Amino acid sequence: MSFTSNPNLNKSKRFWQAFAFNSFRLLSFLVVAILVVILGFIIINGISVISWEFLTEMPREGMTKGGIFPAIVGTLWLVVGSLLFACPIGILSGIYINEYAKDGWLKRFIKLMTNNLAGVPSIVFGLFGMALFVNKFGFGDSILAGSLTLGLLALPVVIRTTEEALKAIDDSFRIGSLALGASKWQTIWKVILPIALPNIITGIILSVGRVSGETAPILFTVAAYFLPKLPTSIFDQVMALPYHLYVISTSGTNIEASRAMAYGTAFILILIVLLVNLLANWLRRYFGRKVKMN
């Protein structure tokens, strides 16, 4: 039979398949290996640095000793601040694009602009934030200026998340509600948004990871090199984790001596990302199941 095992038949196509698949498998594992190496390296070197003192104390002795408490607090402020700005606008904007805007040039333009904004390099956000919020609006280097800058950066992410969450909802829900005499907004508010909410929240949680790790946008809008006190208002400067890591690994007073602090800070940043991803995945699974069950 021609189709039984005849090793000589079509040898070359089988050889190429094996060759290609094995190369791809190898390269994919290389990608995994890269992640494992980076995460492993930082976790192994960083975890020993973590202590109660490291998490709750001010940096001391030229940032070679003590802790990173003000940077943690600063990052927290910035995350909360930026999301307070980005979430309402982003969600409303997503609703507008998916539920109200009619197909046509306007919708396409808005989407293109949202994509453009998403593609703007983070350092350009930094420049812009400095020119507008710090200088023009006179906020100075402050939590307010930094949060707004980071918020603009997170905005396209929130918009897209909302849009996708809404798009995934079957039209029958809308038609059903409208048929009962509900207005368009009532339909969205009472029927559509509750269904979309889990996905929107998942997206927002993922953007927490993004916002907490961004450095370039806060360089000139809020981040302080060394400021061993906590902010008292939104017009204060703060330290922030990513900028702190940058500073102590490149330009601290004593780079070698602050290496341990750097590993610890990198570990915390990685930890945030891991937690955020875990939480998002868990939410996805949790709500995914719930929806199925109903």
For the chain, the helix, strand and coil percentages under 3-state DSSP, each to the nearest 5? 75, 0, 25
- Among positions 135-194, residues that touch other proteins (CB under 8 A) are 135-136, 152, 155-156, 159, 183-185
276 is a contact residue toward other proteins (CB under 8 A): yes
Select from 43, 50, 80, 117 the one that contacts other proteins (CB under 8 A). 117
Identify which of residues 15 and 173 has a Cβ nearer to other proteins in the complex.
15
2 is a contact residue toward other proteins (CB under 8 A): yes
Identify which of residues 119 and 293 has a Cβ nearer to other proteins in the complex.
119
Please list, residue by residue across 272-293, b when 16 or more beta carbons sit within 10 angstroms of its beta carbon and e when fewer do.
bbeebeebbeebeeebeeeeee
Query: In angstroms, rounded to a whole number, what is the distance separating the alpha carbons of residues 45 and 39?
Result: 10
Least separation in angstroms between CB 51 and other proteins:
20
51 is a contact residue toward other proteins (CB under 8 A): no
Q: Are 75 and 147 in contact (CB under 8 A)?
A: no
Select from 48, 56, 115, 254 the one that contacts other proteins (CB under 8 A). 115
In the DSSP assignment, the letter for residue 102 is P
269 is a contact residue toward other proteins (CB under 8 A): yes
Identify which of residues 50 and 232 has a Cβ nearer to other proteins in the complex.
50
Least separation in angstroms between CB 57 and other proteins:
22
Select from 104, 119, 138, 181 the one that contacts other proteins (CB under 8 A). 119
Structure tokens that stand for 199 in this block = 């996905």
- Among positions 247-266, residues that touch other proteins (CB under 8 A) are 249-250, 259, 262, 266
Q: Are 218 and 126 in contact (CB under 8 A)?
A: yes
112 is a contact residue toward other proteins (CB under 8 A): yes
Select from 66, 73, 76, 96 the one that contacts other proteins (CB under 8 A). 96
Identify which of residues 30 and 179 has a Cβ nearer to other proteins in the complex.
30
Q: Are 83 and 208 in contact (CB under 8 A)?
A: yes
Least separation in angstroms between CB 193 and other proteins:
12
Neighbours of 47 (CB within 10 A): 12
Least separation in angstroms between CB 88 and other proteins:
8
123, 99, 93: which is closest to 191 by C-alpha? Answer: 99
227 is a contact residue toward other proteins (CB under 8 A): no
Query: In angstroms, rounded to a whole number, what is the distance separating the alpha carbons of residues 89 and 102?
Result: 19
Q: Are 106 and 174 in contact (CB under 8 A)?
A: no
Query: In angstroms, rounded to a whole number, what is the distance separating the alpha carbons of residues 31 and 25?
Result: 10
Select from 60-68, 92-100, 170-178, 196-204 the region that touches other proteins (CB under 8 A): 92-100
